[in-house]
Every structure is written in structure tokens, then in C-alpha cells.
Structure 1
Amino acid sequence: DEGNTALRGASGGAAGGAGASTSAEPPRAEQDPRSEELRHRVDGLKADVAAKEQELRALRRELAAAQAELAGLADSSPPPAPEPGHPPPGPDVDAAWRERLEKAITSYERAAGLLRYVECVRPDWKNDDGSYKGIEDEHLHVDASALEGAGPEAEEARELVASCYLNIALVCQKLGDFEMMRAACDEVLQSVNPHSVKALYRRAQARVAPASSLDSDVDAAIQDLHTAAQLSPQDKDVRGLLARLKAERKAKERSDRSAFAGLFDRGQVVTTDPRTEGDAPPKLDLNDPKVQAMLDIHPGPGGFT
């Protein structure tokens, strides 16, 4: 455009000069044979960018709807126990509550899957008749190219995907599915943002929530919370849970020490060597009928000598 403007200005100036011919044509630059190919490529990339922008806008709307639905469930919990004299709620109430939460998980999974998904890279993954062949792990590839890079779009994509997984973890916490809650947090920390304070906090919650959690789970949760506290020292939720778990662990250690105190100091060590057992045992008279009966021995006619 700048070249055309300059060319038009130059042509106009020549027309006003003495002896200039208004019918003279401007010289034509020799066209590079690659220009047409590059022009098509540019047009294609513009179309792709426009499609991605439209897809991202739709994704934001879907995420906002899912977040609004989750906000409506923020204070919800399984139906409360009925008051005395009132009939318990029917099974449809609990089923509807679970269905809403599971629907929220599906929405978050779909939203995250638009930017980070698994594809089969096997070239012959279809049979001649159009049916699918078995898909093996070695032919699966996670496409997370939208999350790569340091640009603002990649940063926004990472935040969006992390938000989806963290909301999945929150819904799983409400459903009591702590294994899936922990898996969602692992996905954030391992594949999206290893410094996510919220993912560390919720993973710690998922570790200690089950009744079957072990001391090793508590230790791992405390380690997660230590890391989160270093990343965000002012986070009250992180510091509160960390202080509670450390206090509970210390109380358990005191209880264990009290229960087992002196257990191995009681009594006397017994060995098989009579010389180490203090006083020598009394000598038994083998000719005494009582000793013979106790030892269940029977001497011959001459007795014991």
C-alpha cells in the first residue's frame, strides 16, 4: 500500500511537469513466482487464526456457564439427614445432585480437551472397510501445542486448562472421589503448571481425606503444603491446613510413644545358657520318685547311679 501511494504521488507530480505524458504507464515490477503461494498461505493462516479466536470465545462462554453452575453448587452438599418425624428424601434427590456434579465434570473435560487432547498418530489406524483398529498406547500422542510458548495466548490457554482441571478436582471432592481429585491435581502440576498453589493445596486435601489414608499420605500432604506455602506465604487456607496436619501428626507421635513406652524394658532377658541366668538351678535327685514322675523317666532295677 505504501508503494502504491508513493507511485501514485510520483505519477501525479510527473503529470504536472513540463512535457509529461499522462498516458504513460508506471513500470511493472517483475513478480516473484513464490508470491502467489505465500499469499495463499497468509490467507490460510488468517482464516485459521479467526477460527481459533472464535473457538476460544465459545470456550470462554462454555467455561463461564460451567463456573456459574458450579457456583450454584458451591454451598450444596448431599441432602441433609431428615429431621425427626419427617420422611427421608427420596433417591431422586441424591441422584439429581450427583447428576448435576457429573455434568459439570463433563463440561470441564470438554473445555480442557479443546486445547489439550490425545490423538492417534498411527497412519493406518483404519481398516480397508472403514472400521477402526485397536488403539495402543505407543500410537497415542498428547497434543498440547496450544499451551506451549511464552506469549499471552499460550499463557491464557494454560490458565484456562488449569482452571478446568482444578474445578474437576473441586467437584470430585464434593462427590467423595478423592482418587480422581488427586489425579486432576497431578495433571495440573505435571503437565500445565508445576507451581500451582491451588493444585498443591487440593492434592494435599485429596491425600488426607480418605479414612484409609496412611501416615505416608499425611507426610506427602505436608510436603505439598510446605511447597505451596513457599510459593504463596500469605495464603491462609494453605497455612491453616498445614498447621492442622502438623499438630495432628505431633499428637499421634506423642500417643504412640505413650502407648509403647517401656514395652521392651519390662521383664528379664532369657537366654539358653544357665551360667547367665543368675543363681544355679537346684540339683535334682533322679532317685526321688517325685522327680522321676515330673521328668517322666523310669530307672532300671539298679536305679540311677
Structure 2
Amino acid sequence: MNGALRAGVIDVHAHWLPRDLLALPPGNPLGGMHDRDGELFLGRAPLGFPTAAMTDVDTVVADTRKAGLGARVVSAPPFAFPVHAPAEADEYIASYNAQLAAAVADTDGVLVGLGLVRLDDVDAARRELTEIAAAQGVAGVAVPPVVDGRSLDRDAPREILGIAAELGLSVLVHPMQLPRTEWDHHYLVNLIGNPVESTTAVAAVVLGGVLEELPSLRICFVHGGGCAPSLLGRWGHGWRSRGDVRRGSTRPPAESFSLLYFDTITHDPDVLELLRAHASPERIVCGSDYPFDMAQPDPVGFPLGRGIDAGALEANGRRFLGLTPMDASR
């Protein structure tokens, strides 16, 4: 990543989208996002926060400082992932990435960006990722955990992870709230769906040998990795017991798990402790999910209150972003 970053704890998981892109990419089934009297809606559903918190850079910067953070990494909300009609989304992706670079450049090191990329076309993705790698203040991309029913260990998404690793770009994996009939009430599409999507992607990367092929890949899973910390022992048993589980990887799941980054949004101190028991202490990073209603309201205080050092969170965030000591000196 080009450019310096403000000192302090880095929130790697927050969202921003310019107003002119609220309609969302071509083919989206959600009706787009829109402002109604200062509040942001997704289709007919209110999102529960001011439109400015998603779209206005000055508001995001002010809220970042108010939260006691040094810096915040912003990416598009998952509704804006170009997955429904990707071949028609090139203009949307290019506009988002260009506006993102311009927006973070004017924040004096408070904001860092993660761009959008097509996940269906490797050649198109290489062009987009090459442009992102040259952009000031943009460290990588945010991607969904599942594309067309498959996760990150297969087909184009796996090749695209390889390009990101080759270019030194960070990858944040964010769930999309994929609908299922049994999750159509109680907000289960988020409360269950989001963790399950993240868990699926963690399993795919770990059991698919992705980091064995791409040891330099910096990849972070939000919401504490979903259910993955509680399932790691089960995966390890399956890896030792079954050839079909072992087929994609040469090392036990726990070994690869320790090479992944995870944010601290667990909403439960005991779950955060479970994550800490399995993840590397150098790969746990601060997250907030700003500005959504499921966000961690005190992104700094929550991990600090559970014994995670602020200096470690800052160092881990910089490590995930690929910052060198010279970049970090500001």
C-alpha cells in the first residue's frame, strides 16, 4: 500500500459507499440503497443509521476519531459486491475504486481503502487488481466468501487470491447474507447466515490448501471467523480420519488456521477467548462493522477489556495491510 497511516488502533472492518453508487451493481435483487430524510434504506428496509455514515467521508473520519481509533479501513457494503451480473459491472467497479482512492487520499492517513473486484473473470480481475495496487491509500480488496455456490478454494476466486498475493494486496472476506428459506425471519439471514458464510470460507481456505500454495497471502475473515474457532477440532479430526478431507491440504487445519487474520467482532468475550486460543496473536485485528446496527459499538474497548494490547492491535492491523516500518512511522 502506498501512503502513510495515522498512529493508533486500526479498525480493518468498516464500510463506505459514495452516494452516486447507492443503486448497487447491475443485477442486484435488493432494490438498491437510497436516502430517505437522512436515513439509509436497502430497498424498503431501513438500515438504522444516517446515510452520511455510509457516504460522507468527513462523517466517517469524525466517527473514527470519536471511537478512539487511529485509522479505519473502509470497503463497500456486501450488497455492492458485483456478483449478480459481473460482466456488466466493470463501470461500477471502476467508479467505486477510483472514488475510494480519491476519498481516502484526503483524510490525512485516517482512512484506508479496500476496493472491489470481479470474481468471475481472472483477466478482468488482474486488470482491476493491478490498478488497485498502484492506487494511493488502497491496500487491497473485499470479497464475498461464496460465489455461485462455491468458496475461495476453487476456480476463478482461487486464482484471484493468487493475483492478490502476487501483487501484495490484502484480502478481506465479508459475508453477503445469502438468503435461505429457513432464515427468512428473526434476522437469521444475518445472525446465523453471516457466521456460516464466513465459516465456509475459512474451511475452504484451510482444507483447500490455499495458504500452502500462497504463503504470502494476507487474508482476513470478519466476525471472528464465524463458527470456525469452535469447529477447528472437528475439522482436525476429519483431516486425520478421512482421505477426502485430507486431499486438498498437506498440513493439519490448526496449522493453516494460525496463518489467517480474524477481526474481533464476536459480541461475546468467551468467543473472543476461543478465537485467541486458536488464532495467532499476531493475526487478531480490530473490527467494528461500522456503521451497521450489528457493529461493535466500542471497537477499541471490547478487545482491550479482554486483555488484547492496543499496541498489538495496531501492529497486527499494519501487518495485515502490508505496511512497512517506514510507512508506519507517521
TM-score (norm 1): 0.26
Structure having the higher helix fraction is 1
> Which has the larger strand fraction?
2
Q: TM-score w.r.t. structure 2 length? A: 0.25
Max radius of gyration: which structure?
1
